[in-house]
Amino acid sequence: MTLEKTNYKNLLLIFTRNPELGKAKTRLAKTVGNETALEIYKLLLQKTCKVAIKVNADKAVYYSVKIRENDIWDKKHFQKYQQKGNDLGIRMQHAFEEGFNLGYQKIIIIGSDLYDLTPEIIDDAFHQLDKNDVVIGPAKDGGYYLLGMKKLHLQVFKNKSWGTSSVRKDTLQDLTEKKVFLLEELNDVDVYEDIEHHPAFQKFLKK
């Protein structure tokens, strides 16, 4: 399956992991257990879905393992595709390439593990691409929660240690000759310390 373009000039890509017991939020699960980690990830997916629906752009969900037909991602709002590639960089590059080949003018990608993301932040990212080459939403762990561009910058997807604290620094190094806008720094949910004091997750921690 390939993307289907509508009248929108902007495309929002959402990368998700399939919510499966023992495979969701594995670093968090070391502290809270597999069942609680899965419940937390399902909450994050629901929050991401609610946020994405409010963004004025075409929207495409890219599943990590298998496309689900009857889940929270309603086909009225979201196109559904499978991620392709051996590492995150290749998978993101493929999704961006598909979008640009269809003629989208601006493309933004987000993950699905950020409770504090808002539609306004994504809308601002699209807006910032009017006068910048690339927009990055920096995550507190040294990675990024959002990446936006209006043409493909291939170097961004190559030679990265994905999932480590060096990703954002290495990405910015690749873009020293480009105009880059940094959004506000937010905290994605990977380990217990990320949720320990967050009000939205206290119900899971009091079990």
- Listed by start position, the domains of the chain span 10-205
Report d(CA 91, CA 87) in Å as an integer: 6
Mind listing the pLDDT tens digit for each residue in 107-146? 999 999 999 999 999 999 999 999 999 999 999 888 899 9
Mean pLDDT of 67-88: 92
> Tokens 């599943």 identify what position?
63
> Between residues 128 and 5, which one has the greater pLDDT?
128
Mind listing the pLDDT tens digit for each residue in 27-39? 999 999 999 999 9
Q: What is the pLDDT of residue 205?
A: 82
Phi, psi (degrees; rounded to nearest 5) at 182: -100, 125
**Mean pLDDT in the chain?**
92
Mean pLDDT of 90-100: 95
Q: What is the pLDDT of residue 126?
A: 97
Q: Which of 54-58, 109-113, 117-121, 195-199 has the lowest mean pLDDT?
A: 195-199
82, β-bridge pairs: 63
Q: What is the pLDDT of residue 165?
A: 80
Report d(CA 53, CA 62) in Å as an integer: 15
Q: What is the pLDDT of residue 2?
A: 65
Residue 186 clears pLDDT 60, i.e. is over it:
yes
Q: What is the percentage of the chain residues whose pLDDT exceeds 90?
A: 71
Mean pLDDT of 30-55: 95
User: The domain 10-205: what is its CATH number?
Assistant: 3.90.550.10
Residue 163 clears pLDDT 90, i.e. is over it:
no
- CB within 8 Å of 148: residues ≥ 6 apart: 106, 107, 108, 109, 125, 126, 128, 129, 134, 135, 136
Residue 207 clears pLDDT 60, i.e. is over it:
no
Whether 114 contacts 44, CB under 8 Å: yes
Q: What is the chain's length? A: 207
Q: What does the block give as tokens for 151?
A: 């043409």
Report d(CA 59, CA 3) in Å as an integer: 10
Three-class secondary structure of residue 99 per DSSP: helix
Report d(CA 117, CA 200) in Å as an integer: 13
